[in-house]
Structure 1
């Protein structure tokens, strides 16, 4: 009999591999269209990369939440995996549809919806008595993912499509709020890991941790405002949106730092690999917090909005925070800290290579965004072609650094896949 939990874990890791490979290929296709346009053009690689990244985060979060909670839905896992395979098969045959990030034929949203409802039916049946905060985070994330997914499908109603501005606003709002939904699931995983590694169950009942939960809930409901920044709306909405999202990251840093300060040296050594994933995520939380704070300053935002700086913020969050925390959870499930020392050394090196490569990748995008923003804002006489030629060297650095990220994450995924038959009892 097929072990669906193991298969689901492997499937999530395969999506991460597809994400980084398609991302690097898309970067080269963008820089070298003459070489790629006849085989793998950028416009075909981009939806593969975007969808793979989206499904990696959601699938990885659902996999870990199911495992740690002990609430599994076979119907969800089978239907979810089969639908995603069909989605990428459609991409291979050039069948597109839907909207941004969901660029597959729209009818495939129906089995995705059915799968998530199966997951919800099992997971939300009842909360354990005196449930710790991470259960509430998981439950909130699972429920709000359904709401934002349904909101994302409102474009099927003709009333939304008759107004381009209305449809774009709803789409961007839904996608922004969906990030808050999966952040709730991943934040819950981070709290669970901190409790499991430290052995301090009280961490999940601290006032600060509960404040994080309610702030995250407020965040996913209201911080979407900055996703529709360039759609006509009131400035106070933008200010509230940035303010809410920034405070959430500050609280996460404080919680992880409390954990770091209280963890004994022996426990740090025993869980060294998982701990490094968490500390790496902490580093990227701080870096993206600083970037987002700068982006929220109107005088700076005038130059940065819609440039590669926005991409840098998104990539830093997706790879540096979400992916590192998910890999920490996967590593804990697979008990990677009990692997042979040589294997653990490979994992530690891969984490370091990923951190350095992602830092170069991130800085290159920021510099490209600053140059593009300056040339387009202060020198509107420049053509788009002139602007793109000016930032090409930074995009080349970004692409080379992306190869480093791909190799590092590829090594981690391969090791995890090799030992995916191991599972820690929870």
Structure 2
């Protein structure tokens, strides 16, 4: 009898011990899913913070450049042509760095598993930091290659290419490790990162043929934005919309497949409108128009899905609302500035007069913020603020920052579009002298400076929100309720 009691007690104690262990394991898993970040997600915060910091810097660089265009004798240690190169370099680097963090963070979210190698993430981060610093630093000291849009020294683009390839390799290995849990969003974001590397590497080389040089350059200028970044940001949108309950998972994934197929086909062939006047066959005049029209389809469908979701969605937290504000801002500019205006500009007999004018610059500002700018900011904010509670006061200030950014983008782009229309008509059509036309459009360029001021104010307000949440959450991915109330 005693033996039976002893055996029974031993079995019960083992069962209770096993149950306690299972409870502790389950608790650990729940904590991890609900706020505690895995190693890869914690490291992705570095990319998000650096991207936002460079974004704020770009605001100051942009307003100085816009002012020096109106006031030619403005004292500046950096000449206008190199200041423009720094501005364009920043416009390339901060979205790229932010996209790296987004892909890592939301891939881990989708797979519910950590990255293949955290060591690769660390190496990649410092490679992209040093390459970006070298690129911007040398341009500041008037050292470059004179190639428009990609003005930096090739070795720095090689460094950035290496960082992208490391990221792509890490993501591919992560998907292979968790192949039973691969989602459309994680696969498409990984594909976008692969395309970023494949499109940049050819631009490290030097080409003696000017036609080849121009064509390859637009693989970064156009295809990065209209294809590679679009794949990455669409994966983020899908992940956020599904997690927040805005859109049903099956509807979002259907849109994601359509977006991916049209982004690749439309992006590859839509680049043809950059080939109109550089020596390519005339067939590209037709290809450029047709595929630029196709690129509008997924944007319109996303707007429809978002509208339906907003009508019936559950109440969102303030942190989610702020992220949604930026996604909606992106959708506005993507639909109007990147898609509709872009399609109008690709009509050959329109493009003949408008290419290379301020209309192109206005379109570029709208497209940058429509396709990737606001989405990278939204993703970076979502990464850094995961698990936080946003107070009403801080929410109002952060929304004010987003509104100032919108006001700045609209003012800058509208001013540039009006200036570009006058420039096209007076200079290209009527044949007036270029310098005379420049004097006539200077008031609109001054209005652009005002828009840049609004934009800079918005970047400061948004940057303060980012610095605040970064500092208070630096020790852990999830912060305590007491700390949350101060954010």
TM-score of the pair, normalised by structure 2: 0.79
Partner-residue secondary structure (3-state), 1:419: helix
Match of residue 394, structure 2, among 313, 318, 343: 343
Describe the shift of the 1:302–1:220 C-alpha distance in structure 2 as closer, same or farther (beyond 3 A).
closer
- Residue in 1 aligned with 2:433? 383
2:217 is matched with 171
Q: 2:66 touches 2:449 (CA, 8 Å); kept in 1?
A: yes
Q: 1:266 aligns with which of 306, 314, 328?
A: 314
Q: How far apart, in 2, do the equivalents of 1:203 and 1:399 lie?
A: 45
How far did residue 52 of structure 1 move? 0.7
| Correspondence for 2:365 among 315, 319, 323 | 315
Distance 1:130 1:42, change over 3 A: same
For 1:245-296, what per-residue CA distance to the aligned partner results, in whole angstroms no more than 9, with x for missing partners?
3333331231243133124353346532112111111211221122123223
The yes-or-no answer on 1:43 pairing with 2:81 is yes
Partner of 2:416: 365
Kindly report the root-mean-square deviation, in angstroms, between the aligned alpha carbons of the 2 structures: 2.4
1:34 corresponding residue in structure 2 = 73
> How is 1:217-296 mapped onto 2 (pairs within 5 angstroms)?
217-263=264-310, 264-268=312-316, 270=318, 271-288=320-337, 289-296=339-346
Q: CA deviation at 1:416?
A: 0.9
Task: Pick closer, same or farther for the CA change 1:326–1:243 going to 2, 3 Å.
Answer: same
Report the counterpart of residue 450 of structure 2 in structure 1.
Answer: 400
Count of residues in correspondence between the two structures: 417
For residues 319 and 208 of structure 1, the distance between their equivalents in structure 2, rounded to whole angstroms, comes to 21
User: Which residues in structure 2 correspond to 1:151-162 (within 5 Å)?
Assistant: 151-155=202-206, 160-161=207-208
- Taking the aligned partners of 1:120 and 1:208, their CA distance within structure 2 comes to 24
Q: 2:59 is paired with a residue of what secondary structure?
A: helix
- 1:201-241 deviation line (CA, Å, top 9, x unaligned): 62476433211111112133222111222213344323323
- Taking the TM superposition and a 5 Å limit, the aligned residue runs for 1:5-154 are 5-36=44-75, 39-70=77-108, 71=115, 72=118, 73-97=121-145, 99-127=147-175, 128-129=179-180, 131-154=182-205
How far off is 1:15 after superposition? 1.2
| Residues 141-189 of structure 1: per-residue CA shift (max 9 Å, x gap) | 111111111222232xxxx31x323322332345322222122112221
- Of the structure 1 ranges 94-103 and 387-396, higher mean CA displacement relative to structure 2 is found in 94-103
**Alignment partner, residue 28 of structure 2:** none
For residues 42-96 of structure 1, the C-alpha deviation after alignment (integer angstroms, 9 at most, x for no partner) is 1221111110110011111111111112335111111111221222222333322
Tell me, in whole angstroms, the C-alpha distance in 1 between the residues paired with 2:44 and 2:375.
Answer: 19
- Unmatched runs of 5 consecutive residues or more in structure 2: 1-41, 109-114, 479-487
Relative to structure 2, which stretch is displaced further, 339-348 or 217-226?
217-226
Does the CA contact (< 8 Å) of 1:209 and 1:255 recur in 2? no
Please, which runs of 5 or more residues in structure 1 have no aligned partner? none
Alpha-carbon deviations, 1:381-409, whole Å to 9, x = none? x2211111111111111111111011112
Q: What is aligned with 1:324?
A: 374
Q: 1:292 to 1:110 in 2, by over 3 A?
A: closer
Cα distance in structure 2, aligned partners of 1:125 and 1:316: 35
Which protein is bigger by CA-based radius of gyration?
A: 2
C-alpha change, 1:123 and 1:45, in structure 2 (3 Å) is: same
Q: 3-state DSSP class of the match of 2:470?
A: coil
TM-score (norm 1): 0.90
